[in-house]
Structure 1
């Protein structure tokens, strides 16, 4: 018999102006209905009717917080109307009807119908006790019907609210878990493809290594058979390439555009990249320190993409039209620094909640480097990436442990 928690949370402590006007109208109708004599067709205002109607209607202001107490008060007032000889009318017992509706809307079905039945029994019983010969009076049957009607309406409203709340909860739950499920599917697909690539590469590289050893052995003892060994190496490598092409092709969809045959971008395209940003209103000063060293294609591409994404973040979030790019070549690594003097509020979080920062960190990590992004003490934002000149991950070099500040020491 407890009031539904969700309904009670939505109850405010005060009474709105609209609700107060409704209760005032209900009070006037109750007083008028009790004061009109249908037989003599005259209006006679009785102060007991005013008091009973006032108590019953004013109690309705607390019907959401105390539905059973308000129902008991309304039934008591209706009982007072009948005992004092006022005529039976739906308007006279209107506080009872509203209270029954409130109980039905705020509680369960069994409690609602039990409250409606008890209220009807008390009112009809009082009418019969006052005039025993009128127990078959149509007004008594009408009172039963009028009491059952708000109970049915309130029960329907409660069921509708529960259904809508359940639908909204399911929608919110689906929205919360949609991104998580998508990330899990992406991670599972990455693991599957990585396992497939590992199997293909490991198998064929092992064969090529064995066949190369055989070729080296034959070169000394049986030079005439070295051609066959080299053909085996060629066939094995071709098979490996075909399987890799099929595996990577699984990632493509039928509607994907044809891959571009333009050269892979690198630091050589930095001037063109800066010119494109300058056309959008972002002037970037470019400084190069140290002696430029050749980079492997993987490091060259990672460096270009990091500069591109960092400049994009400056253009979108920094709120400034100037930035500085510094490329510092060390003997064994390249340091990329991009900083601006813009506002700090629009930049992604330095901890990496922005997708751009996550992508830049992943690109740096794939070639054995590391990336740091954060706010500058003097204002603005800075992105610093340390990339090895030669990605040790791709060539199987062991990490350095000799104390040098070499980003390859982070390779796993």
Structure 2
């Protein structure tokens, strides 16, 4: 625990840590300057040894602040000390190792090795100038091993830190991607449920409104028809409740026994839809091509687009509409047209056409809506029936 605490404190205060380590190395270099190999005369600490100790202290304490200037200054200061003392003091070697290690953390491998060779060359020339050994003496090259170790350790540390940073960055990006994907799916689900609710509520409430308005107008003159209008209102309200319960059930957990299991409506229920709206919208229905089983997403989208287009025809037309469903080998197309009735300001949310376009785009199809050349409002939907295209 104490060692972990010391490491944590060193990480929080790196400059103070370097200064403390440099002071220890400086004191150790002065203390060891008295030791000499056996058989050689006793060596006394001189001002040059004190200068070497100061050099190692300054180098280690300032190495993080300016790695390159510190290395250059240490290399220059090492030359006169090596020449005067006849060999490179151990404190100078340690200072150069610390400087090269720090530079290796901040640069690429090629640069640090070229720099190490340059520092060694300067020290080697200083050895030749101050020492009695000839240039080929192996002792002149001992410092190369120490400097090489410092460069290799610094390069390895830099590579390890870069790898850890890359792994952490990939993990962070992966987490962000998962969060973005989750948010995207939530938005898509909200849009899907909003479309379902709009389709269901808009259709059935429109039927209720039309029937209620008609019942109010005929209540005095034709009271016998009020009951039929009320029956139609009751059926539409009941259907709206059931459809809304189904859409709300989409929000439930699939393991919930109360979640509805009824499959969504498709083109097979188109006849029932036309029967429901027959009292207030006359539809001329045609089909071309052989009807076949469609992918579920295409079947639901086609039914909902037809439902929305016919609802708009009933609300804004003159009570008539044409509906054509065409089956081709690659697609199913729907064409719904109706005369444009008198404009009703403030009516309509504008979400119906947008919902049709979004439904078609979700499965790779398209919807166009607008007044055609004959003055009729036309909705054309083309939905691909190829399973691979739909699910891609």
Using structure 1 for the length normalisation, give the TM-score.
0.48
Using structure 2 for the length normalisation, give the TM-score.
0.50
